Structure 1
């Protein structure tokens, strides 16, 4: 009887994950397509828009202060709900985070987008879970929603599912949410794809043979990528502490926003504004050695940290992808590895090092660049995970 109830619960959770994934995938498609349009619009007019980043920031901070209450904590609130220290995520988070991120990117803030998608998915799914008469349904569906949000935006359902399972507690997987997270991830990815949100993927030409020499090269790459990911997490936390010394959030974002506008325009007229997809595209253009500057990864690193510390909305993951890819281009010649493969390894492993996750970045590598190089991704991401200092951009993540 107990076994029957177990299978019944698994089936119910899996079935409920499908409509959650469809709903979250549809919102992700809207959010993602509008964001891409905004990015193209800004890239064509950097001098008309980036100078107003400070004013845009004040508008965002005012909206959160006036309407947001505790939603300004973003992913911190999601993690607290996941750990049971907060009861719910208000639905008002969804329009605030979407609007705030669109405004941030319209005026050139160096930020990502995954935080938005994950928060949207977590908010909606947790709300559904609280209405259901299932044991620990709210927390289970929180993980389900996080998976759906990530999958709908990046269209990498395997990585999204595992990311949601492993990110709340470093070193532990939330297996109780596996069935609904898996169905929600695929439903969200398929839905956003059907609604026109394209998946970024770059099939690599050939697989790297694992030999003693290449294994040593991969380990060295993993050490560098893991340290950079961990450093990003540490710097972001430190920058937020320093920025918080300016107590008024409107004043804080205005002052830092002015400095960001000057820096973003002075440094190649917006090359480091927005998501960083321009650096990712350049890394895999076939001309990465000439189109990527040695300092691209460092400037994107610094400007993203400052943007997010100021209080602008978005996320960290897409900038982390761009930091890792552009750093990989630089390291390829030093390590003697193929350029595009090293960029791909950096794309995945810096993300893993900054989020303190190991399995999700391995699957990111497979789903974006092809599973032929899965052993290489596993080695680099595992080493990166070991050396990142147990740091994470998600300060609410707990460790075992």
Structure 2
């Protein structure tokens, strides 16, 4: 009798988890599609009117930050709150976080800030999953549901469900996987990706045609490239964390801080090729894979301006700029290591992201999903070298230090 009761209870819990994961994936995929498509429209409007919009970056940031702090309350902690829930130091992510981070990121991109978008996807996924988990009476499993939502958010926006699953499982604690969330994360990630795709959000993929024999010489070249990409991810993560700390210490009020730094950022963004380094950085990614113009310093300027934008307090994320930094650096590095430019750009696309986020499997699979699974051995070698060179730094300072 007890065994049957226990089995029935386990089956019931499993059913609840599966249904909840499907609901999370569906809701998050829909929100990702809405957010992503509006963001594309906003970015297009900025590109056509950058000289008129860049001067308003600071005022827009100040107004939004004031409203977010005043009415968003603890939701204004953003990713910090997400990680605190993941580490079970907090239990609730307020639903008002979703509209605030979506609107805030749209404003950042409309007025020319250099930022990404994954921060929104992860936060809205975490918020939805936190709400669904508590509604289903699974408040004690908050960290499990959080990982599920993070996977759904990442998968829906980037259309890379396998990478999203591993990102959610490994990002909370360095060197440790949250295996108990594997099933729910898988269901939610593939559901969110499918829903977002059906609603019109297109996946970014590149068909590489860079045949390279995987011999000893190639292995050495890939390892060297991985070291460079790893150090670049380290540079980004360390610069971001130190700049945030420095600006917070020197200009303590967030509204004043975003105003002052916003003026500096908008001036620099305009002077440097009138907005070439504004937005996500997809222009640099496209140029890297379509024989466009890539300058030897593109990756560095994009890195510095993204660090400045995010450190000031503008909403967005870092991942897509990391993709663009890695891809444009790869184009330059290919001439040094003697590998095909498109292949090296693809390696940089994945490896710089992995190094800066202190994740290992996620970048390997994002490379495979975007550029082709037959290149997985190449991504494995480059991302391994990059991961070993990042000195345990991360753009997410709330990551717990596990075994590495």
Please say whether Structure 1 and Structure 2 have the same fold, judged by a TM-score greater than 0.5.
yes
Q: CA RMSD in A?
A: 1.3
- Structure 2 distance, partners of 1:321, 1:10, is 37
What is aligned with 1:316? Answer: 318
Matches within 5 A, 1:20-59: 20-59=24-63
What is aligned with 1:115? Answer: 119
What is aligned with 2:275? Answer: 270
- 1:219-249 C-alpha deviation (Å, 9 max, x unpaired): 1011011111111111001010111120121
Q: Aligned with 2:275: secondary structure?
A: coil
Distance apart, 1:14 and its partner CA: 2.7
Q: 1:371 aligns with which of 370, 373, 376?
A: 373
Matches within 5 A, 1:156-305: 156-244=160-248, 245-285=250-290, 287-288=291-292, 291-305=293-307
Distance apart, 1:134 and its partner CA: 4.1
Q: Aligned with 1:136: secondary structure?
A: helix
- Structure 1 distance, partners of 2:93, 2:269, is 34
Distance apart, 1:269 and its partner CA: 0.6
Q: Aligned with 2:44: secondary structure?
A: helix
- Structure 2 distance, partners of 1:20, 1:208, is 41
What is aligned with 1:82? Answer: 86
- Structure 2 distance, partners of 1:268, 1:19, is 45
Contact 2:210 2:342 in 1 (8 A): no
- Structure 1 distance, partners of 2:217, 2:151, is 37
Q: 1:332 to 1:7 in 2, by over 3 A?
A: farther
- Structure 2 distance, partners of 1:11, 1:379, is 39
- 1:328-376 C-alpha deviation (Å, 9 max, x unpaired): 0000010000100000000000000000000000000000000111000
Aligned residues: 397
Deviates more, 1:238-247 or 1:347-356: 238-247
Distance apart, 1:133 and its partner CA: 3.3
Q: List gaps (5 residues or longer) in structure 2.
A: none
- Structure 2 distance, partners of 1:218, 1:103, is 39
Q: 1:306 aligns with which of 305, 308, 314?
A: 308
TM superposition score normalised by structure 2: 0.96
Q: List gaps (5 residues or longer) in structure 1.
A: none
What is aligned with 1:399? Answer: 401
- Structure 2 distance, partners of 1:257, 1:367, is 36
TM superposition score normalised by structure 1: 0.97
Distance apart, 1:73 and its partner CA: 1.9
Distance apart, 1:135 and its partner CA: 7.5
- Structure 2 distance, partners of 1:67, 1:135, is 25
